[in-house]
Amino acid sequence: MTDVNPLFLLTGPEILDWLRQEDPNRLATLWQRADAVRSAHVGAMVHLRGLIEISNYCIRRCGYCGLRAPHTDLPRYRLSADEILAAARQAVALGYGTVVLQAGEDPVLTQDWIAAVVHQIKMQTPLAVTLSLGERTPAELRTWRQAGADRYLLRFETSDPELFARIHPPLGTQPCDRIALLREIQALGYETGSGIMVGIPGQTYASVAADILMFAQLDLDMIGIGPYLPHPATPLGQGQWSTPAPAGTQVPASELLVYKAVALTRLVCPEANIPSTTALATLNRQNGRELGLQRGANVVMPNLTPLAYRAMYEIYPEKACISETGTQCHRCLSGRIGRIGRVPGAGPGGRQRTPACTGSKP
């Protein structure tokens, strides 16, 4: 890798070196630099995005996800429009500026039905609306944008095409190109988010370094990075569908590696909104979210899915916070934010673009 990020001049080999770095003193420098860049470019606010998991049906057969269609033991659900609107009103009451409507790739959530829900949220609330509904057609994406959707999230999971093809079977005979789809989403005027899993079986350090450079190349507005957490009802969780990485190159699905990737992403994408993810909090329930926020992140996603459905949205097992009400989750996260000297964000908290900037290497 010889690509150079134009903002912070981190080359692929330099990113790779940081991903392999184990010296606590050197890593302390990385954390400090990432936090300083976060402070300079997105400030002290931590934006809270109210997450509403609207359906756990999915037609995909991804090798890593507990929502995959062949997982027939999973009880399935879809929220009604009224349930979604009630959760959106709760988001307003709690002071959030954004709701995220997330689902498996569920064709019953039709173009017109989603458009009507988005329109009602925009009519009844001041919220920004983020959609995370998988790989959808250009016509659907265009209609939802016209209905008022502000943002779209589609994680590319890994920029390694061979690894992606192994873990993400296509529908029918048409291969998937999520990078191209992200560019289409950007062209429609959405704020665009993507992200990766760290520690996928067969994923190398070089692959993660390439992912971080891809974030910068795509000029993403939102970037989510979380650990790969195996689900026992999936092929990867059962030790299938994976080709071992060469000796010494497999990325660990570790808390530390996620922090490194978050910090490096902040350096190469200083304006992006970067969450400290629920998956990270699942690895470290004591202070995983706080450490993520202190190492480059500036977003958290409190869950507003009704409790009756929460445990059924099982992308991976033993997810953090599945038994907390929306109010309880809000109080907990607000307290955690305050204890590290940060403040909850106000308003929709979109990306704030600034003139071209430069910075130093850690």
Indicate if the alpha-carbon torsion angle 232, 71, 129, 145 is positive or negative.
positive
Residue 352 belongs to a domain: no
DSSP E strand boundaries for the chain: 45-55, 98-103, 128-132, 151-153, 191-198, 222-227, 299-300, 343-344
Number of domains within the chain: 1
Mean pLDDT, range 326-348, rounded to an integer? 93
Q: What is the pLDDT of residues 161-212, one digit of tens each?
A: 999 999 999 988 777 899 999 999 999 999 999 999 999 999 999 999 999 9
pLDDT above 80 (res 9): no
Q: Read off the tokens for 128.
A: 């920004």
Residue 30 is predicted with a pLDDT of: 97
Residue 362 belongs to a domain: no
pLDDT above 50 (res 6): no
Reported residue count of the chain is 362
The interaxial angle of helices 111-124 and 138-147, nearest 10 deg, is 20
Give dist(CA 324, CA 304) in Å, integer.
Answer: 9
Q: What is the pLDDT of residues 232-250, one digit of tens each?
A: 999 999 999 999 999 999 9
How much of the chain is in helix, strand and coil states, percent to nearest 5? 40, 15, 45
Q: Read off the tokens for 273.
A: 């909104």
Give dist(CA 336, CA 117) in Å, integer.
Answer: 32
pLDDT above 70 (res 112): yes
Residue 349 belongs to a domain: no
Mean pLDDT, rounded, of the chain: 94
Residue 318 belongs to a domain: yes
Give dist(CA 99, CA 273) in Å, integer.
Answer: 15
Residue 123 belongs to a domain: yes
More confident residue, 9 or 154: 154
CB 305 within 8 A of CB 55: no
Residue 153 belongs to a domain: yes
pLDDT above 70 (res 104): yes
CB 128 within 8 A of CB 193: no
CATH number, domain at 188? 3.20.20.70
Residue 54 belongs to a domain: yes
Residue 29 is predicted with a pLDDT of: 96
Residue 61 is predicted with a pLDDT of: 96
Residue 46 is predicted with a pLDDT of: 97
Mean pLDDT, range 125-147, rounded to an integer? 97
Residue 360 belongs to a domain: no
The interaxial angle of helices 24-42 and 255-268, nearest 10 deg, is 50
Mean pLDDT, range 299-327, rounded to an integer? 93
Mean pLDDT, range 111-115, rounded to an integer? 98
Containing structural domain, residue 178:
12-340
How does residue 355 score in pLDDT terms, banded at 50, 70 and 90? Answer: low
pLDDT above 60 (res 8): no
